Structure formats: structure tokens, C-alpha cells
Chain A
Amino acid sequence: MTYFKDDQEVYQYLGQLFLDLLADEELAPKFRAANTIVQYCYHNPESQITVKLMAAQEGQVDLGPTRLEPEVVMTMDADTAHRFWLGKVNVTVALARGQIKAKGPVAKILRLVPLTKPVFPRYKAQLQAAGRGDLAEV
């Protein structure tokens, strides 16, 4: 049993989180400092989120098909992504166990990991506000 029933739910929750992050005046510049385009390829359900994080440029989040050409590709189950944003996944362990596959200049994305910690409660609150408190309990 997966957390998300289809790609639309992935976009509704994880996608919305990325959109909110890039609209945040404090966090967005820190994430854009990664200076890359990262694509998250999710399985179960199959879905894809591509995020443009370029310094001095507007951020961009494409849910599903995209014309952006990713520099870094992170592949994982959507469940792993969901658990990550709830603060339940150790990235280095997930990489070592093959739960997350990383291609490209991964360091550009790994540098963002410490910045994600303040986002965990935000994601939980977002789920609860959407009436999906069930997803917040993992």
C-alpha cells in the first residue's frame, strides 16, 4: 500500500511543497543557490517533478512532462520522497541502500539537505490542512 494513489496526489502534495518552497522569500534564494536543474523521478506511482534552482533566476517547478533539461536526476519511490519530507529518511543511508539513486553532480543537491530540516513541519502542516493527516503519520 503506497501513500499516494496516483501521480495527481504526488503533485498535489509533494509538488505543492516545491511550489511553496520556491515562493518562500527566505528559503527560495538558498535553494536556488544550488544552481542546477534537478529532476525527481518517482515510482509507485510513476510521476516526475522537475525543479529549476538557478541563482538570480526565477524558480520553476514542472509537474509531469517538462522541457527543462535536468542536470541531476534523483530516482526513488514516491513513498521514500514523502517520508524524506517528513524527516524520516537519512539520505546517505538511503543512497547506500539504493532506495535513492542519484545521477549527475549530486553534491549540488546534497548541499541542500541541511536546509530541508525546517521544511519538515511545514510539509506535515500542509498535509493536515489538506485534510490528509493520515499521510502525516508514517
Chain B
Amino acid sequence: MTGFADERQMAGFKDFYQFSAPTRVIAGRDLLASAGFEFAKEGARRVLLVSDAVIRATGLVDRVAEGVTDGGLELAAIFDAVPQDSDGAVVAQIAALARETGADSFLALGGGSVMDSAKVANLLFTHGGSAREWEGYYGLPRADDGAGRALELAPLACIPTTAGTGSEVSFAAVIKDREAHVKYQIGDFALIPRLAILDPAATLTLPPALAASTGMDAMTHAIEGYVSRDWNAHADAYALHALALIHANLERAVHSPADESARGNMLIAASLAIVPTTSGALGIAHSLSHPCGALYDVPHGVANAINLPGTIEYNAAGGDDIAARYRDLAELLGLESAGEVGQTLADHIRGLVVSLGLPTRLSQVGVTEAGIPALVEGAMGDACTLVNPRVPTAEDLAELYRRAL
């Protein structure tokens, strides 16, 4: 096996795959009050609650803090200053606060930035160093001279307030380097949170535009996860059910924010959709979107919503084996695909993006044609490009950006 284009395995029994989804998930209504009761089962005793100012203003932080102490745990401190894109300085502050206040565990309440900050702060709290020093994949300390099990971090629980990143069950964290204008990843099994609490009450104050963009992030995870060259049978089950839930609930969750059922199902969908990525299953919609965020501050979900349709058309034209997997998704969505399945699916997603009220062109979110070379540079170097079903050239990616402008 080599992992190159002419030897991809898009069907059948694969030469190799690895699957892991160890997070204990509890989902349902009125769970915020039992945050402490549930977190105690994961070994937490004295909790650092990590959130941001926007979430604090909604009253959610106080409700969860009460839930922590009601469950018999101590609240060491609350850190509520995580910015939209967290950075190395912020996670160092959180880790330092945990040490100063004698915390032994982390509870993240927020969106992707908050959860990723808590993950990396937990890493620094447990193993020391700076965030940038840990950049890379599968590089956390392991037993047996690095050959054994990844050493455990302190207990981490997540309560997502957006339904998109899936960070509450994922093995990766993304941190921004503000000086270099890049986002870097740290990924390893030890970063996977021990507990995820999915309660729609945590997303009811989420504005429709954010529900839309984060929902499109989840949809992109599901679609790219299913069609990646690193797809696998276990992850397929997650991706397909996630897509079915998104199809049934995303528009309702956006247009009817008080629809607790739709908001709750989107939380579940997001946590399912991210799971294939732990097996490495993603693709170039993400590669195209990451530099849009790093260079133009385009929200990740918005960038994915714009880049996903063109990616589908490009990939589906790359071979019948790839198109066959897109056909599975089109059928699940109830689309007639007598012609080009890539076109059919891409058009459906473009229509959905319009219906959600999101931008449909990169030029609407500040990206310029002059910026394409730098964007291509970032996208070519993105790890997601390696697992895309079709191997793109730099010119292919430039053309995808141009079409999306």
C-alpha cells in the first residue's frame, strides 16, 4: 500500500484502518444541572471551568458552575476569556490558572475555540511545555519509551454550545499563531475528552447565523469523512447517520432556534460527524478552508459551506470509485442523480447554503483573487490534502478558489 492516487481503495476490504471513539457521551434534556454528577464518574474532583465572555453573558456559565458544585465537586476557578480563535498565550494562561488554583480537571463550556483551548491547556497542565512545542500528530508522551499507550491527561469534559466542530469527541485541537497567520494542529488519542454532555439548552442562545455555519461544518465533516481515501466501515456508520440527522434538522435548527429537538439532534449529528476524522478521514474542502480562516479570518463553517460544493464536483469527476461514494450520499439525501452525481449533490448543497442565509462566494467574505497563491500554498501543505480521494495539483486548487470567488 502506498496511499497514492492510483492505488486508492474506495470500496471493499481495506488493507488497514484504525478506529477509535472512546468518549462517554450523554445526551438529552436538563443535563447541565448534572454536570458535576457525571464528571465525578471520570475522576474529576476540583474543576477549572473554561468558557468565553459571550457564553458567560448568557447565564450558561453560572448554570453549569452550579451543576458542578451540586454534583459534589469543587469549582477551582472559572476562566471566561477564551477568544474566538485561541492562541498559545491563552492556553498557557488557562494551564497556569489550573495549577494556581489546585484544579485537577477541566470542564469546557463553549464552541470549538473554548474546547480546543481546554484540550491544549490540559496538555500543558499535565506535561508542561508550550502549545507550539506539541504541534504535530501522535507526538504526546507514551509509556514504554514511546511505544506504549499515550499517557493520560487530566479528566476533561466538554459541553458544546455550538453544533459543528465536534471537538467534544475529537482527538485534535487547533490553535492560532497570530504572528505567523497560521493555525496549527495538535492531534493524539490522549486529547480526546473523557465526557461530552449534549444538551440543547446549551445551544438555544446560539444565533441562527452561527447555527448555520457550524452546522455546515458538521455537514462537511460527514461528507468528507465518507468520501476520504481514509474512509472506513466503522466511520461510515457515523458519517451516514450524521448526514441523515443534519438533513432532517439543520434548517429547522437555524430557522426555529427554539426547536429544542432540532438543536439537540444537531448536537448529536456534529458529535457523530467528527468521528471519521479521528481515522484521518477528511478532504480538500477543509484544506481550502483552513487558509481562508488563517489569512482572511473567514469562520471555518462559512468557508466550508462555500468550498464544499466545488470540492464535490472536482472529486466526483476523479473516478467512478469516488463518484460511487458520493452517490451513496445523494441517495441518502433523496436526490435524483441520473446524471453527474457530483453536480447534483453540489447543487443541493449550494441551495441549502442559500436557504441557511450564508455567503456563497469567497469574495463575499473578503477573499481576493490576488490572495489565491498564498491560499494555494496553505492548502497544498494541509494534511487533509493527503487523504483527499483525488490528488490535486496546485493549479487544481487555484481553479477551485477562482470558481468559488
Residue ranges of A at the interface with B (Cβ–Cβ < 8 Å): 87-93, 95-98, 101-108, 110-111, 113-114, 117
Please list the 6 inter-chain residue pairs (A to B) with the smallest Cβ-Cβ separation, ordered nearest first: A90-B3, A111-B381, A107-B381, A102-B136, A103-B136, A87-B2
Residues of the A chain whose Cβ atoms lie less than 8 Å from the Cβ of B382: 107, 110-111
A102–B135 Cα gap in the complex (Å)? 9
B317 at the interface (CB under 8 A from A): no
A105–B294 Cα gap in the complex (Å)? 15
Q: Which of B3, B4, B142 contacts A93 (CB 8 A)?
A: B3
B368 at the interface (CB under 8 A from A): no
Residues of the A chain whose Cβ atoms lie less than 8 Å from the Cβ of B184: 105, 107
Which of B75-83, B108-116, B308-316, B384-392 has 4 or more CB atoms under 8 Å from chain A? B384-392
Residue ranges of B at the interface with A (Cβ–Cβ < 8 Å): 1-4, 16, 18, 135-139, 142, 146-147, 182, 184, 230, 279-280, 380-383, 385-387, 391
Q: Are A102 and B137 neighbours in the complex by a CB distance under 8 Å?
A: yes
A102–B134 Cα gap in the complex (Å)? 10
Q: Are A96 and B4 neighbours in the complex by a CB distance under 8 Å?
A: no
Q: Are A92 and B2 neighbours in the complex by a CB distance under 8 Å?
A: no
Residues of the A chain whose Cβ atoms lie less than 8 Å from the Cβ of B136: 101-104, 106
Q: Are B2 and A90 neighbours in the complex by a CB distance under 8 Å?
A: yes
Please name the residue on chain A nearest to B393 by beta carbon. Answer: A114
15 pairs, CB–CB < 8 Å, chain A vs chain B: A90-B1, A90-B2, A91-B3, A91-B386, A92-B386, A92-B387, A96-B18, A96-B137, A97-B16, A102-B138, A104-B136, A106-B135, A110-B381, A113-B386, A114-B385
Shortest A133–chain B CB gap in Å is: 20
Residues of the B chain whose Cβ atoms lie less than 8 Å from the Cβ of A108: 381
Q: Are A110 and B135 neighbours in the complex by a CB distance under 8 Å?
A: no
Residues of the A chain whose Cβ atoms lie less than 8 Å from the Cβ of B279: 96
Q: Are B135 and A92 neighbours in the complex by a CB distance under 8 Å?
A: no
Shortest A93–chain B CB gap in Å is: 6
Residues of the B chain whose Cβ atoms lie less than 8 Å from the Cβ of A90: 1-3, 16
Residues of the B chain whose Cβ atoms lie less than 8 Å from the Cβ of A95: 137-138
Given contacts A103-B135, A106-B137, contact A98 B2 (CB under 8 A): no
Q: Are A101 and B146 neighbours in the complex by a CB distance under 8 Å?
A: yes
A103–B147 Cα gap in the complex (Å)? 16
Main secondary structure of the interface of A (DSSP, over half): mixed
Q: Which of B135, B146, B182, B385 contacts A104 (CB 8 A)?
A: B135
Q: Are A110 and B386 neighbours in the complex by a CB distance under 8 Å?
A: yes
Shortest B25–chain A CB gap in Å is: 23
Given contacts A103-B135, A105-B135, contact A110 B3 (CB under 8 A): no
Please name the residue on chain A nearest to B229 by beta carbon. Answer: A92
Please name the residue on chain B nearest to A93 by beta carbon. Answer: B16
A114–B393 Cα gap in the complex (Å)? 9
Residues of the A chain whose Cβ atoms lie less than 8 Å from the Cβ of B142: 98
Q: Are B381 and A103 neighbours in the complex by a CB distance under 8 Å?
A: no
Q: Are B3 and A111 neighbours in the complex by a CB distance under 8 Å?
A: no
Please name the residue on chain B nearest to A84 by beta carbon. Answer: B2
Residues of the B chain whose Cβ atoms lie less than 8 Å from the Cβ of A105: 135, 182, 184
Please name the residue on chain B nearest to A87 by beta carbon. Answer: B2
Shortest B394–chain A CB gap in Å is: 10
Shortest B294–chain A CB gap in Å is: 11
Q: Are A96 and B138 neighbours in the complex by a CB distance under 8 Å?
A: yes
Q: Are A117 and B381 neighbours in the complex by a CB distance under 8 Å?
A: no
Residues of the A chain whose Cβ atoms lie less than 8 Å from the Cβ of B1: 88, 90, 93
Q: Are B139 and A102 neighbours in the complex by a CB distance under 8 Å?
A: yes
Residues of the A chain whose Cβ atoms lie less than 8 Å from the Cβ of B391: 114
Residues of the A chain whose Cβ atoms lie less than 8 Å from the Cβ of B147: 98
Q: Are B16 and A98 neighbours in the complex by a CB distance under 8 Å?
A: no
A95–B387 Cα gap in the complex (Å)? 13
Residues of the B chain whose Cβ atoms lie less than 8 Å from the Cβ of A107: 184, 381-383
Interface centre among B230, B280, B381, B382 (most CB of A within 10 A): B381
A4–B327 Cα gap in the complex (Å)? 47
Q: Are A88 and B383 neighbours in the complex by a CB distance under 8 Å?
A: no
Given contacts A102-B136, A102-B139, contact A117 B385 (CB under 8 A): no
A44–B1 Cα gap in the complex (Å)? 23
Shortest A109–chain B CB gap in Å is: 9
Q: Are B135 and A97 neighbours in the complex by a CB distance under 8 Å?
A: no
Please name the residue on chain A nearest to B133 by beta carbon. Answer: A103
Interface centre among B139, B279, B391 (most CB of A within 10 A): B139
Interface centre among B147, B279, B380 (most CB of A within 10 A): B380
Q: Which of A88, A101, A102 contacts B2 (CB 8 A)?
A: A88
Residues of the B chain whose Cβ atoms lie less than 8 Å from the Cβ of A96: 18, 137-138, 279-280
A95–B139 Cα gap in the complex (Å)? 9
Residues of the A chain whose Cβ atoms lie less than 8 Å from the Cβ of B138: 95-96, 98, 101-102
A104–B142 Cα gap in the complex (Å)? 17
Please name the residue on chain A nearest to B290 by beta carbon. Answer: A107
Besides A89-B2, A92-B230, A106-B136, 6 other A-B contacts (C-beta < 8 A): A90-B2, A90-B3, A92-B383, A101-B139, A102-B139, A114-B386
